[in-house]
Amino acid sequence: MTIAAPEVQDMTSTDRIEKRVEVRASRSRVWRAIATAEEFGAWFRVNLEGEFAEGETTRGKITIPRYDHVTVALQVERIDPERYFSYRWHPYAVDPAVDYSAEPTTLVEFILDETEGGTAVTIVESGFDRIPLERRAEAFRMNDGGWAGQARNLAQHVS
């Protein structure tokens, strides 16, 4: 499994977003960046309080300018050292007026694989089909079928 891929690869579907990125760093280095709350916060841009532990929730404020009003809560699911890290959260929960706590969460997974030049990081966020619309997937598929072009043209036209 040593596929050279310098850029972020996109394997997004309707229920899941999947990204794969090759980094020139050892697996243990990448693991620390992902599984340590402080390092995670540095690149993800969130001020996390406390450490990651299976079954525990770690909270923090986003530090990205447009989203700095947002507090995220990461419910850590599984920590498999240097291989796999996962948590659940409410995706794109950016509207302070909305209570997201009753909505289903999505699962975010980080999978590490050693490559010749370093480490491949696969990031998967899944479970979007369970977020208020069961059938959204099909709607998006249709959208990509016959009239996606039309929709795009219209959107371009009006914006």
Partner 1 sequence: MSPSGGAALRVTEAVPVFAALGDATRLGLVGRLSVEGPLSITRLSEGTGVTRQAVTRHLHALGDAGLVRDARRGRERVFELDLQRLDVARRYLDEISRQWDDAAQRLKAFVEEE
Interacting stretch for partner 1, rule CB under 8 A, among 51-59, 76-84, 120-128?
120-128
Sole binder of partner 1 in the list 1, 4, 102, 158 (CB under 8 A) = 158
Write each residue from 86 to 115 as x if it is in contact with partner 1 (CB under 8 A), else as -, in one continuous string: -----xxxxx-xx-----------------
Among the listed residues 35, 132, 20, 29, the one whose alpha carbon sits nearest the alpha carbon of residue 87:
35
Q: Is the dihedral of CA 73, 79, 82, 83 positive or negative?
A: negative
Q: Is 95 helix (H, G, I), strand (E, B) or coil?
A: coil
Sole binder of partner 1 in the list 45, 61, 83, 88 (CB under 8 A) = 45
CA dihedral 17, 67, 59, 8 (to 10 degrees): 30
Compute the distance between CA of residue 97 and CA of residue 89 in angstroms, rounded to an integer. 18
Question: Using an 8 Å Cβ cutoff, are 109 and 121 in contact?
Answer: no
Min CB(1)–partner 1 separation in Å: 18
Q: Kindly list the residues in this chain that would bind partner 1 in the complex (CB under 8 A).
A: 8, 10, 12, 14, 17, 19, 21, 23-25, 29-30, 33-34, 39, 42-45, 66, 91-95, 97-98, 121, 123, 125, 128, 131-136, 138-140, 142-143, 145-147, 150-152, 154-155, 158-159
